Amino acid sequence: MALRERALLGQISDVDLRLVRIFCAVVDCGGIATAELKLNIDISTVSRHIKDLETRLGVVLCRRGRSGFALTPDGERVYAAAQQLLRAVDTFRTDVLDAGRTLEGTLHLALFEKTATNPHAHIAAALAQFQQMACAVTLHLHVSDITSIEQGVIDGQFHLGVIPEHRRSDRLAYHELFDETMLLYVGRDHPWFATAGCARDWSDLGGQRLAGLDYHSPNMEITRVHNLTCSATASDQEGVAHLVLSGAFLGFLPAHYAAAFVGEDRLRAVYPEGLRYECRYSAIHLKPLAPLRAAQVFLNCLLASRHGVSAG
């Protein structure tokens, strides 16, 4: 095997786990100097811990110096394995607490972007209710794209996800939560800005420069259905907003998110009566296994907040 068998490979102690966590923090922060603030440990100590881990593994994990911080090939392999190890440890701890019916541990919740401004989402209300019911649980919110959330739930990185539905996976359970209206917008400098309210057809978009998301989503699906081609793409909806605000592109955005730009007369919806589509948001978790108890409690809070009632 490429990595020589050392003590860490034979048995893992609390000290080893601490070294692994420090190493992952350094990688996540992009270097030892930045990790110093996150870990609240001085640079020399962080550097010593990395060296200790390298000694125990028998490999060089990273290059550090004036040229900057970079992982070695062995470092990349160890980092990937370390992430799996730490997730397994956290899952074990949470499962043990769950087996004892104690609402403790860490709940990882992944949300699709721009849900905070949706008045129908009620996620904040669910969080408040959950905090009252499970104050000992540490919440960790992740914001990501649909594909990453789905895969993260399947891989066990996230206990629950909240996404706009686009295609259902046989490995996931879905619980419908709320809807979102998507409208087509133009920026102030676009030729259509002055006539945005005029009736138009989907075929009118064929000759326009359209901006959209670059991954499988309801946004991508609507362009496929109407045989449209995106002239520019973005990894998230804020990126689409920047493209539309430039005046060079049209693009679909959540109506609640675009409202602030509309109020400033920087965006206008193009024929909102016809050029629109609806997204249905659902909570997802892995099946056939039921989500762990803290996740089930939070899911109940989400479902209850949808109807304005208590989950208790």
Write the pLDDT tens digit of every residue in 59-99.
999 987 777 889 999 999 999 988 888 877 776 666 655 55
Compare 290 and 151 and report the one with higher pLDDT: 151
Q: Can you give the pLDDT at residue 32?
A: 86
- Residue 262 located in a structural domain: yes
Query: Does residue 196 sit in the same domain as residue 250?
Result: yes
CATH code of the domain containing 200: 3.40.190.10
- Residue 145 located in a structural domain: yes
Number of structural domains the chain divides into:
3
Give the CA distances from residue 125 to residues 8, 119, 138, 182, 308, in Å, rounded to whole numbers and listed in that order: 44, 11, 17, 23, 9
Query: Does residue 224 sit in the same domain as residue 266?
Result: yes
Which of 56, 77, 96 marks a domain boundary?
Answer: 96
Query: Does residue 152 sit in the same domain as residue 296?
Result: yes
Query: Does residue 154 sit in the same domain as residue 285?
Result: yes
CATH code of the domain containing 71: 1.10.10.10
- Residue 312 located in a structural domain: no
- Residue 2 located in a structural domain: no
Q: Can you give the pLDDT at residue 36?
A: 82
Query: Does residue 123 sit in the same domain as residue 261?
Result: no
Range of the domain at 224: 179-279
Query: Does residue 79 sit in the same domain as residue 129?
Result: no
Query: Does residue 237 sit in the same domain as residue 248?
Result: yes
Query: Does residue 265 sit in the same domain as residue 212?
Result: yes
Write the pLDDT tens digit of every residue in 159-212.
999 999 988 999 999 999 999 999 999 999 999 999 999 999 999 999 899 999
Query: Does residue 128 sit in the same domain as residue 209?
Result: no
Query: Does residue 285 sit in the same domain as residue 213?
Result: no
Write the pLDDT tens digit of every residue in 16-42.
888 999 999 999 998 888 888 788 888
Q: Can you give the pLDDT at residue 7?
A: 44
Residues 239/145, Cβ–Cβ less than 8 Å: no
| CA gap 151, 82 in Å, rounded | 19
pTM: predicted TM-score of the whole model, two decimal places: 0.70
Which of 78, 96, 114 marks a domain boundary?
Answer: 96
Q: How many residues does the chain have?
A: 312
